[in-house]
Chains A and B, each alone.
Chain A
Amino acid sequence: MQLKAYAPGIYPRSEALVQATRDLDRGRKKQEEVDQQVDRDYEEFVAVQEQAGLTLISDGLLDWQDHFRPLVDRSDGLAARPLSRFLDTNTFFRAVLVEGEPRLRDPIPAPSLPAGRWLASLPSPYAFSRAAEGAVPAKALAANVLAPQIESYAKEGAALVVLIDPFVARDGNIAELVGALAELPNDVPFALQLSFGDAASVLAALAEAPVEAIGVDFYSTSLDAIPTDYPKEIMAGVIDSRSSALEDPAEIGRFAGELAARNPAGVSLSPNGDLQFVPESIAREKIARLGRSQAALEEVA
């Protein structure tokens, strides 16, 4: 059995890229020098994932300032607003101002990764709407912004689109989310990652959602919350992106075994949210341990 493992979302910037962006803001570096460092970070992150043996490769969204900004910048009718706290972290994002009918003008280019070997990360339509404080329905953002972006990624060979949603597990507004997911194209499979939240209260309602996998944060969700014979793959958030503590692959292995015993449609391994909440040196080691957990479990299987 091949056990899948991936690392979607925003990956932390290296200390070199942190310094480069600081220097850019202080007028000591040019944008092209920062872009060159982004390229070096990107190549390093791809290598780290390949060495770890992850199933699909992520580009790490290294030049994304938050989950929404690149889509906002490339859409008519949307603008970035003042800072908003991201959940209960000390990190902030720019909320979305709706100035007209949202429409993606210019899709974000796909990363230069082999077709069929990479995954894309995007905000879920519900998360996107929440970032706009509900000023535009999730359905409209799905149809007019996310759908053309996903079509573009699909053409460029994305094997999976991970829709990141840090809000819906807290709000419980599943109906709006599921209604919006129906607006997305079906030419690439989706995983819905419920990052940094207790998924217990929404898993039952998501059983029929049009996604292949549900990402569950097992540092906020008890294993007991997973129903037996769950009809979706569980993308198990077994790497804690908000902790500097390094996970023990053996413990992850035991945990994944207990999860599999509940007989969901499948089990894959991932962090419980964007790894940008730990410094890059720690994130790199966490990716390595994710890979070791995956390999150990495959041997057992």
Chain B
Amino acid sequence: MSDVSFLTREIGSLGKPSWRVKTFAGRPLDESDVADAERWGARLQVDGHERLLELLRSGQFAAAELPEIDDWAVIYAIRLLEQVGLDIVYDGEQRRTEMYDHVAAFARGFEPRGTVRSFDNKYYNKAAVVESPSIDGPQDVEEYEFVRAHTERGVKVPLTGAYTMEDWSYDEHYAHEGALGGSRERRYEARRLFVADVATNVILPNVEGLVAAGADWIQIDEPAATTKPDEVPLVVEGFNAATRGVEAKKSMHICFSDYSALWPAVLDLDDCLELQLEFANRDSRELGTGDDDRPGYEDTLKLFKEHGYPNVGLGVLDIHSDFVEPAELVRDRILYATEVLGDPERIQVNPDCGLRTRSWDVVYEKLANMVQGTRLAEEALNRAPTSAPA
């Protein structure tokens, strides 16, 4: 039996450095912004970061210089993910506004509509689909190529899924006519058409372009997957249509959702390597590998076990908290998952979701402990292979 080893990955977004945010917003930098760039440049051993400091200290940014600042933000993010020890990296989505707007602002067929409340005094921008969405060419190939050129690690490209684009958009095209007093079936069919068009005409061309450029791992993000439990089949249809015929590893990320709604529909996902899910958010912070110790993992992992497909991307870091998970807690979460599934080859390791709401200091500590905890789990499993569950 070969040694057990787990891949460690991030999921997607990191926070943007203040110097990147302010320069793009046209706001003046202060000394703390430059000091932050200097501190992280040194800590992450970013080659040539003195050029960034020089640029920031000049305080004057022509439009032509913004792409260079964007490049530096990407390089810093890659170095952070490398230095904490991740096996698979990307760029922390430094070039993207956020996951919905990144697509809606690029594709034809969407128009911005304004601000809607998320909760309390937090809001988000929402667009409407006004015609069948499409793109003129792959959206993220240059972004990928830059990452590929700046790391020797494996690369996984995160892309927003078709169902989430549909669910988070207003519909002024597919369902508008006859919506008043219309049937449930008619509403469902309108949503199915919307998902299919986004998957086929927006995401698939991007995926094909990325794979042609060398990308070998595509992650489809579907945080809205179980918002309407009876529509999980549409999530599956969207994934399959967006990755049809593509020769690459394909996986799906879902978070903060009712995972019990995913099965049996997800059994129809075509060649989906794994579902990367959020677990740590709902788990205890106590050590231990028993059912009672791991309430955030038990029910969902048993669904993975029962159905046997797909594999699991195990969320081991709570992205909504500055609590830095000790390596031993990460270890125990992995060991528990291994025990429930009975097969360590069905498990890889990641945070619950993107870490964009945490400071880079917290991100660094969390991810470093994630990697260390993963190594501890490997050691434990490799030290006592005969005690590993069958």
Contacts and interface: CB of A to CB of B under 8 A. Distances in A.
B is a partner of A: yes
A90 B168 contact: yes
A276 B175 CA distance: 20
A89 B167 CA distance: 9
Contact of A281 (B114, B124, B167): B114
A205 to B, nearest CB: 20
Contacts of A93: 119
Contact of A91 (B119, B121, B170, B183): B119
Nearest to A242: B170
Contacts of A103: none
A280 B116 CA distance: 9
B113 A18 contact: no
Most chain B CB within 10 A, of A198, A240, A244, A258, is at A244
B180 A238 contact: yes
Given A244-B170, A244-B172, A251 B180 contact: yes
Given A218-B181, A222-B183, A15 B114 contact: yes
B126 A279 contact: yes
A76 interface: no
Question: How big is chain A's contact interface, by range?
Answer: 35 or more
Nearest to B164: A90
B51 interface: no
Interface in B150-201: 167-168, 170-172, 175-176, 179-184
B260 to A, nearest CB: 15
A91 B181 CA distance: 25
A144 to B, nearest CB: 26
Contact of A25 (B121, B170, B180): B121
Contact of B184 (A66, A222, A255, A278): A222
Interface residues of B, number: 29
A223 interface: yes
Interface string B222-252: 0010011000000000000000000000000
A63 to B, nearest CB: 11
Contact of B180 (A85, A218, A278): A218
B24 interface: no
B302 to A, nearest CB: 23
B203 to A, nearest CB: 20
B123 interface: yes
B363 to A, nearest CB: 22
A65 B120 contact: yes
A23 to B, nearest CB: 9
Contact of B128 (A21, A94, A244): A244
Nearest to A239: B180
B180 A219 contact: yes
Given A88-B227, A244-B170, A66 B116 contact: no
B118 interface: yes
Given A222-B181, A251-B180, A22 B114 contact: no
A243 interface: yes
Contacts of A247: 180
A24 interface: yes
B119 A12 contact: no
Interface in B103-150: 113-121, 123-124, 126, 128
B258 to A, nearest CB: 10
A251 B179 CA distance: 10
A243 to B, nearest CB: 6
Given A90-B124, A244-B170, A12 B180 contact: no
A282 interface: yes
A252 interface: yes
A245 B172 contact: yes
A276 B117 contact: yes
A277 interface: yes
Interface in B265-279: none
B116 A277 contact: yes
B168 A18 contact: no
A10 B115 CA distance: 15
A276 B116 contact: yes
A13 interface: yes
Contacts of A88: 227-228
A68 B126 CA distance: 25
Contacts of B171: 243, 245
B116 A279 contact: yes
B346 to A, nearest CB: 29
A83 interface: yes
B184 A198 contact: yes
Contact of B114 (A21, A90, A279): A279
Interface of A: 12-13, 15, 18, 21-22, 24-25, 65-66, 83, 85, 88-94, 198, 218-223, 238, 240, 243-245, 247, 251-252, 255, 258, 276-282
What are the 7 tightest A-B residue pairs by CB atom distance, in nearest-first order? Answer: A279-B114, A244-B170, A21-B121, A92-B119, A223-B181, A245-B172, A245-B176
Given A93-B119, A219-B182, 17 more contacts: A22-B121, A24-B121, A65-B121, A83-B119, A90-B118, A91-B116, A219-B179, A223-B181, A238-B180, A243-B175, A243-B176, A244-B126, A245-B176, A252-B180, A278-B114, A278-B116, A282-B113
